[in-house]
Amino acid sequence: MLHNYDVIHFEALGEEAHHLREETEAAQAKGLLPRDLRYLIVPDALQDFLAQHPDETLPPLITIKTHSVPPQDYLASNPKKSIITRSAGYDHLESLADVSNITSLRNYCVNAVAQTAIKFLYATAGLLNQYTVNTATFERNKTDSFMELAANRVVTVFGLGNIGKRAFDLARANGLTVQAVDIRARELSQRYGDDVKFVTKDEAIETSDVIINAMNLTRIKGSPYYNENYFSYDYLSRAKKGLIFINVTRGEIAPEPVLLKLYDQGVLGGIGLDVFSNEHDFSLAVQKGQVETVNNRVAAALVLLQMAESRMGNIYVQPHQGFNSDLAVESKAADTISHMISWYQNGKKRFDEQLPYYQDVI
């Protein structure tokens, strides 16, 4: 049976599904969305849903997360389709920006992810694993000195979008000296004024005690924003000894084999990771123990995970959960419905804010 929905929300689970329904009804009550809006909220990825319902026609507006893959015939059909990705990152849809209207949730997890970066900062600077292990024997005399957060410590935030700026502000509020690296430095300087000190990539690696990566991943090689493997071995090996490296956006920007090698060499003194490369393959390797069949990145990530779990290193990891705060899940639904409202207000032709977000490097 065909339903001819106006919008389908894919991969909507638990509280998120509840909040999507709640926000939709609130927008309808205010007259911001049609009263007779036909919408469906399902936990399945788009391709799984279509496999179960092969006769269902996808509506001109869908919302998805990273595991859903829009069909090519859907993207090629008229009118131009519109997609909301319910995540802050958008690299999984970036290549479709020429054929679809695509927008992402650039605000929903800003504070949650930035706070995750600071959580890792406290854990790494404070040598949390070592101090926790020593508690078992109440060892007080053979404990390394932790890095006190003070003005003589320099934190560099790479990528000063919404998440990066919030991480910047939180680090400064903790008494650290903070600087930023961003390819859009000239443009962003007009927005932030003297509030932010921008430095070059080269200056950052020479002066930083802590690096926080908050960049969106861009995989398109012709783009000036291309940053896969941005934190290479050659680059990070130039760091001060003991550099703390924290990544809260995408694993592909900082390859795990590079991080592991530099940690073993003593160049990196601490690592905090909320994200990994090839997260699907990595999760399977963790769950099924397929260590012998994984690629180098996944193998290195597994070693980092084992070191974190055993508390044998100053390494802290979690499975891409920086966005998972109680407030973030509510605002995620609210931002999704906000994009839907703008789509209707624009005659179902575009979102107020959509890819490409950055047209030129200024």
Question: At 131, which CATH number?
Answer: 3.40.50.720
Show the domain range for 101.
7-108+326-345
What pLDDT score was predicted for residue 362?
40
| Backbone CA torsion sign across 121, 125, 130, 136 | negative
Is there a single domain that holds both residue 170 and residue 92?
no
Is there a single domain that holds both residue 123 and residue 254?
yes
| Alpha-helix residue ranges (DSSP H) falling in 174-295 | 185-192, 201-207, 233-236, 256-264, 279-288
What pLDDT score was predicted for residue 359?
58
Q: What is the pLDDT along the chain (362 residues), one digit of tens a residue?
A: 456 899 999 999 888 899 999 999 999 999 999 999 999 999 999 999 999 999 899 999 999 998 899 999 999 988 899 999 998 778 788 889 899 999 999 888 899 999 999 999 999 999 999 999 988 888 888 888 899 999 999 999 999 999 999 999 999 999 999 999 999 999 999 999 999 999 999 999 999 999 999 998 888 888 888 999 999 999 999 999 999 999 999 999 999 999 999 999 999 999 999 999 988 788 888 887 655 555 789 889 999 999 999 999 999 999 888 887 888 888 899 999 999 999 999 999 999 999 888 654 44
What pLDDT score was predicted for residue 290?
58
What pLDDT score was predicted for residue 291?
52
Write the DSSP symbol of residue 198. Answer: B
Is there a single domain that holds both residue 313 and residue 257?
yes
Is there a single domain that holds both residue 123 and residue 100?
no
For the sheet containing 177-181, what is the strand order?
A: 177-181, 154-158, 210-213, 243-247, 268-273, 315-317
Domain assignment present for residue 362? The answer is: no
What pLDDT score was predicted for residue 288?
74
Is there a single domain that holds both residue 212 and residue 258?
yes
Is there a single domain that holds both residue 104 and residue 210?
no
Write the DSSP symbol of residue 251. Answer: G
Is there a single domain that holds both residue 258 and residue 311?
yes
Domain assignment present for residue 312? The answer is: yes
Instruction: Count CA atoms within 13 Å of residue 214 on its CB side.
Output: 34
Domain count, the chain: 2
Is there a single domain that holds both residue 143 and residue 104?
no
Domain assignment present for residue 249? The answer is: yes
Q: Cα dist. 92→226, 275, 359 in Å?
A: 14, 15, 19
Distance, CA of 114 to chain centre:
10
Is there a single domain that holds both residue 294 and residue 196?
yes
Q: Cα dist. 50→42, 54, 275, 348 in Å?
A: 12, 5, 29, 23
What pLDDT score was predicted for residue 2?
53
Domain assignment present for residue 361? The answer is: no
Which among 61, 68, 49, 57 has a CA at the least distance from the CA of 24? 61
Planar angle of CA 195, 196, 202, nearest 5 degrees: 165
Write the DSSP symbol of residue 179. Answer: E
Domain assignment present for residue 99? The answer is: yes
Is there a single domain that holds both residue 53 and residue 142?
no
Amino acid at 43: P
**Element containing residue 351 per DSSP (H, E):** none
